[in-house]
Amino acid sequence: MCQERGIPVIALAGCVADDAGTTHDYGIDAFFSTINYPISLEEAMSKDRARTFVEKNVEEIFRLIRVCEKKFS
């Protein structure tokens, strides 16, 4: 649906498998792991920690988008 409308899709996941690049064939333009260092499954699934991981990664993704817009527009 997004691909048909020209809407970019960025996916966030707890971790990203080695073969995750195949998702590009299905309309995912970019993907990022929200967990950037080893932690226990229990900690990763904690509502507060998960929220923090997602918020920090979303902020960095939008910073990257802003940098690209400034550089290439």
Strand partners, 69: none
Q: For the whole model, what pTM was predicted?
A: 0.79
Strand partners, 12: 32
Q: Indicate whether 1 pLDDT > 90.
A: no
pLDDT classification of 73: cutoffs 50, 70, 90: confident
Segment 41-69 shows an average pLDDT of 95
Look at the chain and count its residues: 73
Strands (E), 5-44: 10-13, 30-33
